[in-house]
Structure formats: structure tokens, C-alpha cells
Structure 1
Amino acid sequence: MAASLATGNPLLVLANPGIAAESRALVADQHRVFVKLFGSHIVRGTGAQVIAAYRLFLTTYAAEASNRNPGDAGGERTGEQLAPDSMFASELFGNDDVAMLHHRLKSASFLQGYSVLEDAHRNPATDRCDPKAEAIRAYVQEPGSIPDILEELATRFPGTVDAAYEVAFSRPGFSWERDGEALLRRYKPEEFRTRDLPSIAVLPPWLKDAVHGRARAPRA
């Protein structure tokens, strides 16, 4: 029953304060390794390049964790084993504009068309139908996308962010400082409700075994 609940709603596991704290510490440690490895929390390139970078990050972190805990076999696995092709969206491989962003709580995320989204904040569109305005709307309205990415871009381009959203959402007089959070909360209520929770849950050994056993069990 616990395995079924954990796989059906991972947030239930994070309701345990001890598990939540351990999970936050794990993602923070991964974030440290990511930034140390690449010199930034963002890696950009083609889809193939970004996937290769992600696999390098996984093998680097697994090797470091294995050195700290010699019984951990994760450091013996290759990047392809840790992140097989099947875990990535198929269109990611052929995309020439991909960014991988590592968040201190939400771990790694992959964003296609990041350069367009960035340029939309740097050089705002003058027409609502401009691809740059569409990129902003698409990310704001996309379920599951973390608001932190937009908040970071707004911080980087304070002089143009108001105009960018004014055009994208046809909101004359839009002020990011005044209206930005309300706009994001409107489209991303779940992301704000869970934004203080990590995206990875560190399961206790007995529950991890139960989840793995459930995944291996034959389906009727």
C-alpha cells in the first residue's frame, strides 16, 4: 500500500519532515556538483550536447557519492545507463536550441527554445503574434514548468521585462514587480503550492525496495 501511494502521489512521501529534509539536502548537493562541474546552473547547446552534459553530471555525481559511500554502486554505471535515451523527449535530440537548468530544489529541467525565451525578455516583441511573445505565453501557461526560470529572466532584464509581458499578454501598464507573481500564480497554482518541496524524494530503504518490487511485478 505504501509503495502504491508513493508512486501514485510522490508528494505524500515529502509530507514526512525527515524525508523532505533529506531530499532537500540531496538536491542541494547535486546542485553544488552541477555548478562546480559546468561553472553555471545553465548549460546550453544542441539537444545532443545537453544530454551528453547531463550524463556527465550524473556520472560525476555518482562517482563522488560512491567515494563517500563505497557501498554505493551508482558510481560504476555509465551515463547512458543512468540516463537512457528513453527518459528524454524524442524531439530533444534533434533540437538546436536547448538549455538544461539545474535548480537548487527542483533538480534538472530541459527547456527547448530557451534562447528565444531569453531574447523575448532582453528585446521585447512589439506584436502579440511575434514568436517571442508567444514563447513567453507558452512557458507561463505550460503545466509543470517552474516559475523560477521566468523570475530569473525578469531579474536579469529589469528594464525590459514589463514591456515584454505587456505585449505578450496584452496588458497595458503591466509591471512585473507589481503583477508578475499574480500572473504566474494564476497559471501555475500547483507549482507555487509545491515550490518549497524538492523534486526528488529520498525513500527509506524498506519503501525503496517495495517501490522497486512493485515496478518489477507482472501486470494483470
Structure 2
Amino acid sequence: MEHSDSRTALPHIARLVARSGELKSELVAFAHSPRFARRLDARLQQAADRLGFLDEAMAIDTIDHFVLQHRLADGSSVLERFAAQRRPPLSEDERAMLLGWREVVEAVFEVQDFQGEAVVLHNLLDGLSYRVHSNLGRRALGKLSTGMFVAGRIVPVHPDTDAWLVSGNLTTYPPGDGPQLAQLALQTLTAHPQLLRRNPEMLRTAWQMQAEARADLIEVFGTDILVLDPGEAPRRMREYHRHRQERALAQLDDESPAQVIHHGPSLDELSALPEELCDADTVAVIFDETEGLCFYADFGHLDALFTDPALARDRTYLSRLRQYLNDDSVAPIAIRRLVQRHPDNADAVFRALLRKPTFTWERDGEDLLRRRKAEHFAREPLPSITPVGTRLAQLLRTQARKAR
């Protein structure tokens, strides 16, 4: 899949790229003005402290990040301040160009081809290709050659085009470094699965794969929720994992992603649970349609409370429920499942917890979750399984062979 620009004439792109260079120079000068100098100097010092030195390339990237992405005290960026305050005022088209630069794509790319003044870069993270220009002209891309790799940042030339622009420094690597760079790309994708949003096709595949993994768990256990003794959980998960392996082997001839990343609890064979789960009275394994596979400590303790609300007289039960309610790492689905399992008792439990005798789950439950778990509701749901693009998978297989 490639980001190409069939809608916009090349001379128009050339004009936009040239104008972007002028505006970027003004923007960087604005960032060095006295109102921002102290904060920018602090960011440069932090970069120097991390590396033990600060070379030109790191300084360029630090300034670029500060200008485009750093949030000031009021929540705005230097870029947004410049777009609003520049005198004389920017035209609507120039303002749109500048604000489009907020969409930064930072990745490891493979050089695929050259098209006129642009280079086609394949992003190992999202599996997309981008036609990229430099506002310093074609000569700035002269150090690149087909098959080599670059780490860098790009932004849209303009929201009305599919052309992209180098933003900051490009660090180059020879083709032979590809497998090692693929490992770094995999680590980045594991830590930041939201990068998949740029590729709708891969995102759809990820949701489909998560649905299939959930269906497999239901096929094995007859349900998508298990409440287990901590000593039993590894054995049951190994049973599920074996089922998944057998299905994967049976589908080897299918056109499916060569590798996937699982976020959250591992689907690998478990020899032991994390310490916080080992100390629990029970462990709930929930494979939700949206949240994916999740483990929750002491779920059985709370299930008993919802089975018999009279247990609320023992404050330890309410204390655990309060922890579930206030802990952002506990998704709302865990509490919703307790309510779904015992709908007739939910009101009594929450009235005791909140000391609100008129509370009803049907009327007040979702509002309660949205207040206590606002951070969760502010996040866009993402699948817990991330497919790895074809090219990245090829490079990872090469790296695996080298490691043998």
C-alpha cells in the first residue's frame, strides 16, 4: 500500500515544498525567541544528558520535536502559537499547511524508489509507503539509495495532498542493517500499537485476529470468562495456547500475517503468573471483544460480594471493589462483568460502596465508570493483537536465522 499523490499536479507540490522551507525557517526562529528559549534550552540539555553529548543531528531532531509536538503550559504547541500569532497573518492555505505538520510520522523506513524530486520510503511500522520531499531540494536526499534504511520524521506537505516532507534529520543505515533495525521497529510497535491506526487495512486485520483468538478461547472453555485459582491458571492457559498453535499450523497455507504482537498477558506457555496474581485469591481471565485478553486479581472475591451483598458488612470486600473502581489499569469491562453476572444485586453493592441509597446501576452505572475511569474512556480502543507487515516480518525472519 502506498501513499501516492495522483490528485495534485507536481508543479503545485514543488511550490508547496518551497514555501514550506520558508515557513519552517520562520517557525524555528520563532521557537528560538526569548519567550521559548528557556524551555528549548532545557529540552536540548535533557537530550545531551541522555546521550552524554549533543551532536548536530540530535539537536535538529530535538528542536523539531519541540516545535511541532511539545506541549506548553496552556496545552498548545509552538507551531500552533506561530500559526495564530504570525504577522502578517498567514493565508488560510498556509495556515492549513502549517497545522498539518502536527501529524508527525516517526519511524524506520526502507528506501524503495526515487520519483522525480521525491524518494519513496516504506515505513516498517505501519506497512505503508510515503512519497517524501525535502524543502532543501533533491540534493538533500542525495545520500539515500534504494535498499538502504533511514530513521527519521516526516510530515504532510499539505493536508490536500498525499505528499510528505522530511522534518528534522534523516539517519541512514546500509541495507545489511535491516534485520537489526527490524528488531527495533518491533519493539517500537509493541510499545506503541496505536501506530497501526495509520493503516486501516492492518487495523481491520488486527480486530479480525482478536475476534478469532477470542472465539478460540470460547471454543476451548465454553465461555469468554474464567475465574480460576492462581495455581490452575497457567495450566488452563497452556491448554488454550496449544489449541491456538494447532489451529495456526492447520492454516499455514493461508495468506495470514507472518507474525503478530500480543499486548497485555502473554499467550505463550506460562510457567508462572506475575507476583501480583500469585498472591490473589482468584484470577479472572476475560477475553473481551474490545479490551482483548485481560487478567484480574481477586475477581472471585468480588464475585462473592455481588452474589451476596450482605458481605458488604466486611469492609475488605468494599475496599477491593473501590480499588477496581479507582485503578486505571482495571478496564470498565471488569466491573461491567460483575454486574452482568449478578444484575439483581448490583444496586445494593454500589449503594453500600458509595453510601448513596438511591443509586441504581441502570441509571447511574455508566456515569460512575466515566467519572472514575475518565482516562480509559478518553483513549481510542485498539486491538490487543497487532499484525506485523510483510516486509518487517521478512527482516525479522532474517534476524532470527542470524541469531541461530
TM score, norm. by length of structure 1: 0.79
- Secondary structure at the counterpart of residue 231 of structure 2: helix
Q: Which has the higher strand share?
A: 2
Measured after TM superposition, the shift of residue 105 of structure 1 is: 2.9
Measured at CA, do residues 186 and 208 of structure 1 come closer, stay the same or move farther in structure 2, by a change above 3 Å? Answer: farther
Measured at CA, do residues 23 and 62 of structure 1 come closer, stay the same or move farther in structure 2, by a change above 3 Å? Answer: same
Provide Cα deviations, 1:28-71, integer angstroms capped at 9, x if missing partner: 10111111111111223221211111121112112101101159
- The separation in 1 between residues aligned to 2:281 and 2:307, in whole angstroms, is 20
Q: Of 241, 250, 254, which residue of structure 2 is paired with 1:67?
A: 250
Q: Does 1:54 align with 2:237?
A: yes
Q: Does 1:82 align with 2:268?
A: yes
- The separation in 2 between residues aligned to 1:22 and 1:45, in whole angstroms, is 31
Consecutive unaligned residues in structure 1, runs of 5 or more: 75-79, 215-220
Residue 27 of structure 1 corresponds to which residue in structure 2? 210
- Secondary structure at the counterpart of residue 201 of structure 1: strand
Q: Does 1:164 align with 2:352?
A: no
| 1:59-208 matched pairs, under 5 angstroms | 59-70=242-253, 82-85=268-271, 88-93=273-278, 95-125=280-310, 130-194=315-379, 196-208=381-393
- Secondary structure at the counterpart of residue 47 of structure 1: coil
Measured at CA, do residues 211 and 123 of structure 1 come closer, stay the same or move farther in structure 2, by a change above 3 Å? Answer: farther
| 1:208-219 matched pairs, under 5 angstroms | 208=393
RMSD over equivalenced CA pairs, Å? 3.2
- The separation in 1 between residues aligned to 2:333 and 2:368, in whole angstroms, is 13
Measured at CA, do residues 153 and 211 of structure 1 come closer, stay the same or move farther in structure 2, by a change above 3 Å? Answer: farther
Larger Rg: 2
- The separation in 2 between residues aligned to 1:19 and 1:109, in whole angstroms, is 22
Residue 182 of structure 2 corresponds to which residue in structure 1? none
Measured at CA, do residues 195 and 146 of structure 1 come closer, stay the same or move farther in structure 2, by a change above 3 Å? Answer: farther
Does structure 1 retain, via aligned residues, the 8 Å contact 2:312–2:349?
Answer: no
Residue 218 of structure 1 corresponds to which residue in structure 2? none
- The separation in 2 between residues aligned to 1:29 and 1:15, in whole angstroms, is 23
TM score, norm. by length of structure 2: 0.46
Does structure 2 retain, via aligned residues, the 8 Å contact 1:31–1:104?
Answer: yes
Does structure 2 retain, via aligned residues, the 8 Å contact 1:48–1:94?
Answer: no
Measured at CA, do residues 187 and 15 of structure 1 come closer, stay the same or move farther in structure 2, by a change above 3 Å? Answer: farther
Q: Which has the higher contact order (CA 8 A, sep 6+)?
A: 1
Provide Cα deviations, 1:95-140, integer angstroms capped at 9, x if missing partner: 4422212222322222221111112222225757612211211111
- The separation in 1 between residues aligned to 2:383 and 2:375, in whole angstroms, is 14
Letter in structure 1 aligned against 2:244: Y
Consecutive unaligned residues in structure 2, runs of 5 or more: 1-106, 108-124, 126-184, 260-265, 400-404
Identify which range, 173-182 or 129-138, moves more after superposition: 129-138
- The separation in 2 between residues aligned to 1:173 and 1:138, in whole angstroms, is 22
Does structure 2 retain, via aligned residues, the 8 Å contact 1:125–1:167?
Answer: no
- Secondary structure at the counterpart of residue 351 of structure 2: helix
Measured at CA, do residues 99 and 7 of structure 1 come closer, stay the same or move farther in structure 2, by a change above 3 Å? Answer: closer
